[in-house]
């Protein structure tokens, strides 16, 4: 069984203790925080964390603001947002704040456990990255995990970069949703692939802000996505 370190940030006492008990039965080391302050103190005391389950509805600080602070404090941790907010904008804000994934309440415990296993498996995979990939004005460097448009870096969250790298490695080709989920998240992903759409949306916004065309990542209805191989002409 895994000995990964998990932090549950949940202000509902019953839900928090249920999650902690369920996760401990899976062999995880689990801490519980019911406020943002407790979460930050726990992370500071531990110095590291493998995965954080973060409820957005906290009494002392908005969950998206806490997410940004946690991402800064433990940049390598996986952050999974748990939220009763079902509006797409709320999910987008959570991902933009640094979350890697999200589940809307109520959720099935089986799905949550499967997601956690998937994220932790991906964290232990360290394949040798290829060299930089240049596609028109876009350059993606898997070795340094940095992306550039016209030489200026595009600030990307970990999963956003992973997604762009997979698309860039097959620029011009149609990639199915299943393949993207398998390569970026996990081959044994359980549940909705809506998180893929949210990350694509965030990635498009950031590439557009850097000056690339808004349709640089094409949606292929009923199949998946394609990164257009032109990536826009270079300016003179």
The 10s digit of each residue's pLDDT in 16-70 is: 999 999 999 989 999 999 999 999 999 999 888 999 999 988 899 988 899 999 9
CATH number of the structural domain 133-227: 1.10.10.10
- Which CATH number, 2.60.40.1120, 3.40.50.2300, 3.30.56.10, 3.50.50.60, labels domain 5-123? 3.40.50.2300
Cα Rg of the chain (Å, integer): 18
pLDDT at 129: 57
Contact predicate 201/138, CB 8 Å: no
All CATH 3.40.50.2300 domain ranges in the chain, comma separated:
5-123
Query: Which portions of the chain are predicted below pLDDT 70?
Result: 1-2, 85-90, 122-130, 186-193, 230-236
Q: What are phi and psi of 31, to 5 degrees?
A: -115, 155
pTM over cut 0.75: no
pLDDT at 192: 59
pLDDT at 86: 63
All CATH 1.10.10.10 domain ranges in the chain, comma separated:
133-227
C-alpha span between 124 and 98 (Å, rounded): 20
To the nearest whole number, what is the mean pLDDT of the chain?
Answer: 85
């Amino acid at each position: 069984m895994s000995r990964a370190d998990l932090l549950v940030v949940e202000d509902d006492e019953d839900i928090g203790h249920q999650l902690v008990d369920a996760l401990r039965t899976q062999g995880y080391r689990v801490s519980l925080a019911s406020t943002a302050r407790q979460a930050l103190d726990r992370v500071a005391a531990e110095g590291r964390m493998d995965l954080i389950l973060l409820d957005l509805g906290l009494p002392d600080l908005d969950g998206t603001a806490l997410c940004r602070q946690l991402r800064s404090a433990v940049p390598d941790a996986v952050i999974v947002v748990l939220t009763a907010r079902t509006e797409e904008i709320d999910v987008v804000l959570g991902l933009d704040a640094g979350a890697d994934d999200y589940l809307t309440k109520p959720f099935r415990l089986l799905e949550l456990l499967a997601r956690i296993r998937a994220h932790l498996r991906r964290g232990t995979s360290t394949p040798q990255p290829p060299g930089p990939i240049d596609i028109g004005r876009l350059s993606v460097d898997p070795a340094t995990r940095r992306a550039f448009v016209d030489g200026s870096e595009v600030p990307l969250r970990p999963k956003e970069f992973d997604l762009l790298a997979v698309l860039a490695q097959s620029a011009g080709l149609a990639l199915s949703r299943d393949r993207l989920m398998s390569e970026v998240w996990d081959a044994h992903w359980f549940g909705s692939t809506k998180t893929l759409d949210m990350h694509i949306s965030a990635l498009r916004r950031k590439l557009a802000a850097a000056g690339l065309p808004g349709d640089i990542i094409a949606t292929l209805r009923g199949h998946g996505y394609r990164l257009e191989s032109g990536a826009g002409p270079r300016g003179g």
